[in-house]
A and B are shown apart, each in its own frame.
Chain A
Amino acid sequence: MTDVNESLAKSFGLNSEEWGKVLEIMGRKPSLTELGIFSVMWSEHCSYKSSRVWLKELPTKAPWVIHGPGENAGVIDIGDGLAAIFKMESHNHPSFIEPYQGAATGVGGILRDVFTMGARPIANLNALRFGDPSLPVTKRVVDGVVRGIGGYGNCVGVPTVGGEVNFHPAYNGNPLVNAMTVGIARKDKIFLSAAAGVGNPVVYIGSKTGRDGIHGATMASTEFDAASEDKRPTVQVGDPFTEKLLIEACLELMQTDAIVAIQDMGAAGLTSSSVEMAGKGGVGIELNLDDVPQRETGMTAYEMMLSESQERMLLVLKPERSEMARTIIEKWDLDYAVIGHITDTGRIVVKHQGQVAADIPLAPLSDAAPLYRRPIAETPKPAKLAPISSHAPLDLALMKLIGSPDLCSRRWIFDQYDSTVGGQTVKRPAQADAAIVRLEDSNRALAVTTDVTPRYCVADAEMGGAQAVAEAWRNITATGAKPLAITDNMNFGNPEKPEIMGQFASAIKGMAAACIALDFPVVSGNVSLYNETEGRPILPTPAIGAVGVLEDAAKAVGYGLKPGLSLVVVGETKGELGRSLYLRELLGREDGAPPPVDLAAERRNGDFVRNRILTKEVEACHDISDGGLLVAVAEMALAGNCGVELTGVGAAEYWFGEDQARYILAVTDAADLLAAAAAAGIPAQHIGRSTDEKKLTLPDGLAISLPQLSDAHEGFFPRWFA
């Protein structure tokens, strides 16, 4: 019998003060199972104890928000009686330890957060950050993560339509895997997790419980060290086939009136689902673990309560509907077991083999959960960009940039993801700034994207936070869709270090300002801290997942060019090279301040561009971001396999600066667009035209053939994995 004491509590991740609180709440020494429950519920991963005070600063309301943060996922009204339900979540730590399964179960977990609310998932995205591509371990992680995302997403039949990938040595040993799912439900058929109805059965459905993933949430709440490889057994194994059955079974059951409450078993499994359901409903819950479907023999109460076996859901049903529910679940060959009932005690009581294994009052478990306002140290504002002595020729710079790991084609990745299943994918990867997925039996479509620029965030987290939100908004806008709301996935280092907490607080401040200025509330999110290996933190990475709506899917525009159009830049170009990819890739420097974000200009320019698109005067549109104007032009040429002749003039700062709030529009009538921009007080500049010659002609007269450009752009990944 394990002795339960402070040292065991410490090994479970609780500090002395938290152990003292446990003793105070229990009025006695807790059992092993009870200590396990406290430790996972109070882990950083489940309790948000370091981040909650800051997350409250984010705007979460708008007339179209149905459910903001606090539910399994955010819910927004998208018109026609429909709701979009979405969230992004990290699976960083497991994906380093075991890339395939870590990434796969990340996809599985975020899917469950969405369909548990009644939505059919219609799109998956993923925001990935990897270490230095020259390291063999990076290649292994990239390969495993991509295979894992594809292996799971392809099998469940949800199209993987978008995302982003960055490389930076700061992610060596700490890759980020942020998975996002977007689903659709009827607005009047949203399912929540608050339990109700004393005596109602608590029903377990899905896969059987095994010993996998025990204490996964605790693992995700510590830094990595050389011994992290030993933590492989805490990574769960995904079964996408069972997940697919679970999706169909739940959606079928949701057509009935059987469900009172439903929650997936994610991090901390049976513990967090039962505690959260009963806690939110203000009731009590009693579980009998003898009735839990088990994959292994001899499991203890502790193991069952902390298992993170995948593909499981917990339901509270109306008793008179439980047999009908059993018929539906068993039709899908899934386990169905009544494992307890709702009580009025306000306690969670866990029984196993005739003994009470745990008996904890629910209110203090959540109310007394630790909450830290940790010390913050602000990062000093970056020094101005030091002078640049000499620039690279335009053509060489473009060729280098467009083939660099951060800007090269992601085709090798998305060719491994099924992006068309469902038959509703209007814009696939690399066709538009946001992926466009039409809603079945509707003309409406959603535009979805993920964005953040960590190299800006590390220089100035506040500006970087604002930029991430603004770029997501811009990417939605550039398709013609109206941006509605975001989910945030906050990936940072060790919050116990003041400079890391300072990054976190500053990023939130910048994000909040952008959300307010752009009417773009946060409706769900996830925090991943302790992303450090041997004391070295990742770049601060507040990844933003965004959703917008198009009332008419046919109005969506992509960025592929066709011949005979004029190219017009909307927005002001000052030539901001601080923290740009040009600076890093061509000059080997990562200094200066990131480009400033002018939220009023973002709003004004974006609303102008969207309006032009919706009135059908724009043939193609691309936001200007990483790599600047010339890279954006090259991407438009490649996406349309169409030549471009540039006439605009400027130096490297002009062509590669990463000034914000800019778009390139391809139109038939440039004069009309320029006049409209002038009337709206928006800077706009004619920079060239698209041609039927397969080459990109630079303003200095030098031409790069499209095949040359394409080889440079497409080469990196295939060469790496050849």
Chain B
Amino acid sequence: MQAAILLFPGINRERDMILAVRQSFGREPAIVWHKETELPAGTDLVILPGGFSFGDYLRCGAMAAQSPIMRAVKSHAERGGYVLGVCNGFQIITEAGLLPGALLRNAGLRFLSMDTMLKVERNDTVFTSKWEKGAEFRAPMAHGDGNYTADDAILDRLEGDGLVAFRYSDANRNGSARSIAGIYSPNLRVLGLMPHPENLIDPLMGGTDGKPLFDSLAAA
């Protein structure tokens, strides 16, 4: 699995993501600046990490969704390539139209930084094969705008088609519709989620609950 990590101005969790990829994939990810127009040849997986792209001064992710590299990301997804967007990366790929819905301001209107529990809705995807179905795992979250919102038709379709990837299972702190923490594209090759599995990959940092995500991808 060859990964390319996209770097938009204001992204700040790229180093965390590099550590996670390096540990599970056994090879270095490529780092791609947002003004590039092509992904490196041989890219299997595009990762959009967390942060505050362009300061999130417009809607979160809205500016980054217009960056030159995003045309290449869309083509990559259309060709069936893998895409992982975490936190701001999730916001960017919803703004870019790769996933439906939007991430609104947290219900309590405050930034939320704590561990949350997530339930794995299905384990037959390239992102979740190393978990048991229905498994629960811990992941740090750190966001001001993680309130997943979509209209009922979209939510029903996501549920009906098995496209809900993860749900908050201990508490729905940010007010997300149907406790949704992450969703897939219809071909199950694009995943967006708000919490940060990449921050729990080392026992020293409090556990390895997030590692199966990267181990699953490495095994694909």
Chain A residues closer than 8 Å to B206, beta-carbon distance? 428
User: Mask for B1-23, Cβ within 8 A of A = 1, else 0?
Assistant: 00000000110110110011000
- Cβ of B106 to closest chain A Cβ, rounded Å: 11
- Cβ of A562 to closest chain B Cβ, rounded Å: 15
Instruction: Tell me whether A422 and B57 are in contact (CB under 8 A).
Output: no
The answer to the question of B37 belonging to the interface, with a C-beta cut-off of 8 Å to chain A, is: no
Please judge, given known A-B contacts A241-B52, A438-B204, whether A420 and B196 are in contact too, CB under 8 Å: yes
> Residue of A at shortest CB range from B16?
A423
Please judge, given known A-B contacts A421-B142, A423-B15, whether A154 and B9 are in contact too, CB under 8 Å: no
Partner of B55, one of A155, A418, A421: A155
Chain A residues closer than 8 Å to B202, beta-carbon distance? 423
The answer to the question of B178 belonging to the interface, with a C-beta cut-off of 8 Å to chain A, is: no
Number of interface residues of B (CB under 8 A): 31
Partner of B199, one of A154, A241, A333, A423: A423
Chain B residues closer than 8 Å to A554, beta-carbon distance? 204
The answer to the question of B205 belonging to the interface, with a C-beta cut-off of 8 Å to chain A, is: yes
The answer to the question of A690 belonging to the interface, with a C-beta cut-off of 8 Å to chain B, is: no
Chain A residues closer than 8 Å to B140, beta-carbon distance? 420
Chain A residues closer than 8 Å to B52, beta-carbon distance? 154-155, 157, 240-241, 244
Q: In the complex, A421→B140 CA distance in Å?
A: 10
Please judge, given known A-B contacts A239-B55, A241-B57, A245-B9, whether A419 and B113 are in contact too, CB under 8 Å: yes
Instruction: Tell me whether B113 and A418 are in contact (CB under 8 A).
Output: yes
Instruction: Tell me whether B111 and A332 are in contact (CB under 8 A).
Output: no
Please judge, given known A-B contacts A239-B55, A244-B12, A245-B9, whether A416 and B111 are in contact too, CB under 8 Å: yes
The answer to the question of B41 belonging to the interface, with a C-beta cut-off of 8 Å to chain A, is: no
Chain B residues closer than 8 Å to A425, beta-carbon distance? 205
Instruction: Tell me whether B55 and A332 are in contact (CB under 8 A).
Output: no
Partner of A241, one of B10, B198, B201: B10
Please judge, given known A-B contacts A415-B114, A423-B205, whether A440 and B12 are in contact too, CB under 8 Å: no
Instruction: Tell me whether B111 and A157 are in contact (CB under 8 A).
Output: no
Instruction: Tell me whether A155 and B205 are in contact (CB under 8 A).
Output: no
The answer to the question of A150 belonging to the interface, with a C-beta cut-off of 8 Å to chain B, is: yes
> Residue of A at shortest CB range from B202?
A423
The answer to the question of A305 belonging to the interface, with a C-beta cut-off of 8 Å to chain B, is: no
Q: In the complex, A623→B194 CA distance in Å?
A: 37
Q: In the complex, A639→B219 CA distance in Å?
A: 37
Instruction: Tell me whether A440 and B15 are in contact (CB under 8 A).
Output: yes
Q: In the complex, A440→B16 CA distance in Å?
A: 10
Instruction: Tell me whether B15 and A154 are in contact (CB under 8 A).
Output: no
The answer to the question of B112 belonging to the interface, with a C-beta cut-off of 8 Å to chain A, is: yes
- Cβ of B172 to closest chain A Cβ, rounded Å: 15
Instruction: Tell me whether A157 and B13 are in contact (CB under 8 A).
Output: yes
Q: In the complex, A326→B206 CA distance in Å?
A: 42
The answer to the question of B29 belonging to the interface, with a C-beta cut-off of 8 Å to chain A, is: no
Instruction: Tell me whether B111 and A244 are in contact (CB under 8 A).
Output: no
The answer to the question of A47 belonging to the interface, with a C-beta cut-off of 8 Å to chain B, is: no
Please judge, given known A-B contacts A423-B19, A426-B204, A554-B204, whether A416 and B110 are in contact too, CB under 8 Å: yes
The answer to the question of A414 belonging to the interface, with a C-beta cut-off of 8 Å to chain B, is: yes
> Residue of A at shortest CB range from B35?
A331
Chain A residues closer than 8 Å to B19, beta-carbon distance? 423
Instruction: Tell me whether B12 and A156 are in contact (CB under 8 A).
Output: yes
* Size bracket, chain A contacts: 20 to 34
The answer to the question of B54 belonging to the interface, with a C-beta cut-off of 8 Å to chain A, is: yes
- Cβ of A231 to closest chain B Cβ, rounded Å: 27
The answer to the question of B51 belonging to the interface, with a C-beta cut-off of 8 Å to chain A, is: yes
Chain B residues closer than 8 Å to A239, beta-carbon distance? 55
Please judge, given known A-B contacts A157-B12, A245-B9, whether A417 and B113 are in contact too, CB under 8 Å: yes
Q: In the complex, A241→B205 CA distance in Å?
A: 27
Instruction: Tell me whether B142 and A154 are in contact (CB under 8 A).
Output: yes
User: Mask for A403-432, Cβ within 8 A of B = 1, else 0?
Assistant: 000000000001111111111111010000
Q: In the complex, A260→B219 CA distance in Å?
A: 49
Q: In the complex, A407→B199 CA distance in Å?
A: 30
Instruction: Tell me whether A414 and B113 are in contact (CB under 8 A).
Output: yes
Q: How many inter-chain residue pairs (CB < 8 Å) link A and B?
A: 86
The answer to the question of A117 belonging to the interface, with a C-beta cut-off of 8 Å to chain B, is: no
Q: In the complex, A417→B57 CA distance in Å?
A: 19
CB-contacts of B165-220 with A (<8 A):
196, 198-199, 201-202, 204-206
Q: In the complex, A636→B45 CA distance in Å?
A: 44
Chain B residues closer than 8 Å to A438, beta-carbon distance? 204-205
CB-contacts of A133-157 with B (<8 A):
147, 150-151, 154-157
Q: In the complex, A419→B196 CA distance in Å?
A: 12
> Residue of B at shortest CB range from A146?
B110
Please judge, given known A-B contacts A240-B55, A241-B52, A241-B55, whether A424 and B113 are in contact too, CB under 8 Å: no
Instruction: Tell me whether B113 and A415 are in contact (CB under 8 A).
Output: yes
The answer to the question of A553 belonging to the interface, with a C-beta cut-off of 8 Å to chain B, is: yes
Q: In the complex, A150→B112 CA distance in Å?
A: 10
User: Mask for A514-526, Cβ within 8 A of B = 1, else 0?
Assistant: 0000000000000
Q: In the complex, A244→B144 CA distance in Å?
A: 18
Chain A residues closer than 8 Å to B205, beta-carbon distance? 420, 423-426, 438
Instruction: Tell me whether A154 and B13 are in contact (CB under 8 A).
Output: no
Q: In the complex, A531→B52 CA distance in Å?
A: 35
Chain A residues closer than 8 Å to B142, beta-carbon distance? 154, 418, 420-421
Q: In the complex, A27→B30 CA distance in Å?
A: 62
Chain B residues closer than 8 Å to A156, beta-carbon distance? 12
Chain B residues closer than 8 Å to A422, beta-carbon distance? 15-16
Instruction: Tell me whether B111 and A421 are in contact (CB under 8 A).
Output: no
Q: In the complex, A151→B12 CA distance in Å?
A: 14
Chain A residues closer than 8 Å to B201, beta-carbon distance? 423
> Residue of B at shortest CB range from A554?
B204
- Cβ of A62 to closest chain B Cβ, rounded Å: 29
Chain B residues closer than 8 Å to A242, beta-carbon distance? 55
- Cβ of A481 to closest chain B Cβ, rounded Å: 15
Instruction: Tell me whether B10 and A244 are in contact (CB under 8 A).
Output: yes
> Residue of A at shortest CB range from B53?
A241
Q: In the complex, A554→B196 CA distance in Å?
A: 22
Chain B residues closer than 8 Å to A424, beta-carbon distance? 205
Q: In the complex, A147→B56 CA distance in Å?
A: 16
- Cβ of B207 to closest chain A Cβ, rounded Å: 12
User: Mask for B135-167, Cβ within 8 A of A = 1, else 0?
Assistant: 000001010100000000000000000000000
- Cβ of B205 to closest chain A Cβ, rounded Å: 6
> Residue of B at shortest CB range from A429?
B113
Instruction: Tell me whether A423 and B198 are in contact (CB under 8 A).
Output: yes
Q: In the complex, A415→B142 CA distance in Å?
A: 9
Instruction: Tell me whether B10 and A420 are in contact (CB under 8 A).
Output: no
Listed residue (B50, B110, B198) with the most chain A CB atoms within 10 angstroms of its CB: B110
- Cβ of B130 to closest chain A Cβ, rounded Å: 20
- Cβ of B49 to closest chain A Cβ, rounded Å: 10
Q: In the complex, A423→B208 CA distance in Å?
A: 12
B interface residues with partner A (beta carbon < 8 Å): 9-10, 12-13, 15-16, 19-20, 50-52, 54-57, 110-114, 140, 142, 144, 196, 198-199, 201-202, 204-206
Interchain residue pairs A-B with the least CB separation, the first 5: A157-B12, A241-B55, A423-B16, A418-B142, A155-B52
Between A and B, 26 residue pairs with Cβ closer than 8 Å are A147-B110, A151-B111, A157-B52, A241-B9, A241-B10, A241-B55, A241-B56, A242-B55, A244-B9, A245-B9, A332-B9, A333-B9, A414-B113, A415-B113, A416-B110, A416-B111, A416-B113, A418-B111, A420-B140, A421-B16, A423-B198, A423-B205, A426-B204, A428-B206, A438-B205, A554-B204
Additional A-B contacts beyond A240-B55, A244-B52, A415-B113 (20; CB < 8 A) = A150-B111, A154-B113, A155-B10, A155-B55, A156-B12, A157-B52, A241-B9, A242-B55, A244-B12, A245-B10, A415-B112, A416-B112, A421-B50, A421-B142, A423-B16, A423-B198, A423-B199, A423-B205, A426-B204, A428-B206
